[in-house]
Amino acid sequence: MRPALALLMRRLDTVTVLERQDREILAALPIEIAAFEDNHDIVREGEHRDRCFVVLKGLIGSYKLTGEGARQIPSFYVPGDMPDMQSIHLSRMDVGFRTLMPSRIGFVSHAAIRLACAQSFTLIEAFWRMTLIDASIFREWLTNIGQRNALARLAHVFCELFVRLKAVGLVPDHSFDLPLTQQELGDAIGTSSVHVNRVLQELRKEGLIVFREGRLTIPDWSRLAEVGDFDPAYLHLRETGRTVGTR
């Protein structure tokens, strides 16, 4: 199987049970792969789409802009995710998606996805489930920004990224690449880059993270999860306890 589709299948395996015929249908999907540098728009707000994209490598952020140009990042997307599934049913995109590090993206046409779903009810359920989980993550981020302090917000985001990356086999230990700027982290948790700097210093001082040269290490998962008020239930992953892999 092509590595790109194997990664999508690995992501779907975290949310549902795929039978052999479902995997064969997925393996036959036509996919166009492209590489993008950091800070490149994959989808712009207001666009009319005829294809979806799969994150194959890197990190993608959704974003909204105010009339004055201020940016809010309401979610991150990791390899295996299909961030814009809603474009199959909505004629106009109400959010943008941008690379937050050099990334590889796979594009699959709406027509190909519809054909795959027509051949497999399980795939309809799997894609629908992924869309519902995306909404669940959005609700958690809304709560994170609205009700937790900045220290807990950032700890929560770090915990989420760790769990989601580990679920698709991209965290071999307790470290992963996260070359985000303090401004990007601030846009994700609703605070200034100056405040992000203070929060990072506090997390380091408490021994909860090591964040150096674009790589994040979590030496004490339990304490970081406690500080971030993090419960992975909202990610709706199968075998969640093993996925976290804290033992």
State the pLDDT confidence band at 240, using cuts at 50, 70 and 90.
Answer: very low
Please provide the DSSP assignment of 48-75 as one string: --SEEEEEEES-EEEEEE-TT--EEEEE
Q: How far is CA 1 from the centre of its chain?
A: 23
Beta-ladder partners of 99: 60
Tell whether the torsion through CA atoms of 130, 178, 227 and 209 is positive or negative: positive
- The class that CATH gives domain 148-244 is mainly alpha
> What is the tens place of the pLDDT at every residue in 159-187?
999 999 999 999 988 999 999 999 999 99
Question: How confident is the model over 14-51, as pLDDT tens digits?
Answer: 999 999 999 999 999 999 999 999 999 999 999 999 99
Same CATH topology for 3-120 and 148-244?
Answer: no
Average pLDDT along the chain: 93
Confidence of residue 4 (pLDDT cuts 50, 70, 90): confident
182 closest CA partner among 203, 160, 164:
203
* Position 52 pLDDT exceeds 50: yes
Sheet holding 103-109, edge to edge: 32-36, 103-109, 51-57
Going by C-alpha positions, the residue among 9, 10, 4 that lies closest to residue 23 is 9
Q: Each residue of 204-233: pLDDT tens digit? A: 999 999 999 999 999 999 999 999 999 999
The confidence score (pLDDT) of residue 212 equals 92
- Rounded CA-CA distance 160/147 in Å is 17
What percent of the chain has pLDDT above 70? 96
Record the tokens describing residue 10, joined without a space.
């690995």
> What CATH number should be reported for the domain whose range is 3-120?
2.60.120.10
Query: Can you give the pLDDT at residue 242?
Result: 45
Residues with Cβ < 8 Å from 75, sequence gap 6 or more? 61, 62, 83, 134, 137, 138, 141
N-term to C-term CA, the chain: 32
pTM of the predicted model, to two decimals?
Answer: 0.93
Tell me which residue of 126, 128, 116, 193 sits closest to 154, measured CA to CA: 193
Which pLDDT value is given to residue 26? 94
**Within 10 A of 9 (CB to CB), how many other CB atoms are there?**
17
Domain residue ranges of the chain, discontinuous segments joined by +? 3-120, 148-244
DSSP state of 84: T
